[in-house]
Every structure is written in C-alpha cells, then in structure tokens.
Amino acid sequence: MRLLHPFMPFLTEEIWQQLPKPSGAPQSIMITLYPVRDVRFYDDASEASMALVQKVIVALRAIRADKGIPSATRVWHCWSVNDDYKKTILDGYKTIIAEQGKCREVRVRRAGSSLGGEFSIESVATALAGDVEVMVPLEGVVGAQDAAQEKAS
C-alpha cells in the first residue's frame, strides 16, 4: 500500500483507515515511511543473467521485425556463445526465451562449432546480443520472392 500511495492516494488512504493497526502505528498512510530496498536481497549474478536473456530476446525480436517475420510464425533459432557460463545461463532460460521470441525450437552452441548442415549459411539472419550471436534461419519462413531479395542483399 505504501508503494501504491503516491499513485492512488485517496484509495490507499481509505483502505488504510479501514485496516486494523497495531498501537503506535501512524493514523494516516501519508506519514508512514516509504519502503527502502534491502541490500541483503541484491543478487548481481541473477541480474547479469537476466540482462543477458533480455539482450538475446531483443536481438531475436529485432531480427523478426527486420525480416518481416509475422509474430504468428514460430521459427527456430540458434545462439553462438564463446563462454561456457553464458551457455549454461542460456540453456537454463531456453523455454522463456522461446516463449518470448515466439520460437518452436532453440539451440545453444559453442562459437566455432559447425551448424550441422541443418540450414545453409546464406539464408540465416544474425544479430549480436553482447558477445552472443543470435541466428534465425530464413528457409521456409521468408517467401520465395523474399528469399531471392535476401540473398541479393
């Protein structure tokens, strides 16, 4: 309620007046202290992991927007990472990234490893998310006339 009070003061004050309060509690929510962050709950590693996930999702969405891939079309995509730690992070968040990026399949591979012959390198859209390379194969996703334009560009 104290967090909501600056945005909805009349509503929070009315609710505050109806709630039972212990003795010594302020009679108005206006004079209570605004909550402060507790440094015990900071987790820099989790924040860095989520920042990496967000960068990958933004890169994937940028590819979709740039290539005109409809949001209803489920693509599969691959990431290329140099760092084993980042590979572990992305492996752990695959389902979330697939859901947010509208993907049917997600693969994480080490940088320098082969693509496995699953698609031709000419028909792949790439973007960088920090030092992670995000790849989306365009075969079967982009129309036949668009594929010719993609190869030409």
> Which of 49-58, 62-71, 138-147 is least confident?
138-147
Question: What does pTM read for this prediction?
Answer: 0.69
81 contacts 118 by C-beta, under 8 angstroms: no
* Radius of gyration of the chain measured on its C-alpha atoms: 24
Higher pLDDT, 147 or 88: 88
pLDDT score of 153? 60
pLDDT digits (tens, 9 = 90+) for 14-42: 999 999 988 888 889 999 888 888 889 89
79 contacts 124 by C-beta, under 8 angstroms: no
Instruction: Give the whole-number percent of the chain exceeding pLDDT 70.
Output: 85
CA distance 7 to 31: 15
pLDDT score of 17? 93
> Which of 3-7, 114-118, 149-153 is least confident?
114-118
Q: Exposed/middle/buried for 114, CB within 10 Å: 0-12, 13-18, 19+? A: exposed
pLDDT digits (tens, 9 = 90+) for 72-111: 888 887 788 888 899 899 999 999 998 998 888 888 877 7
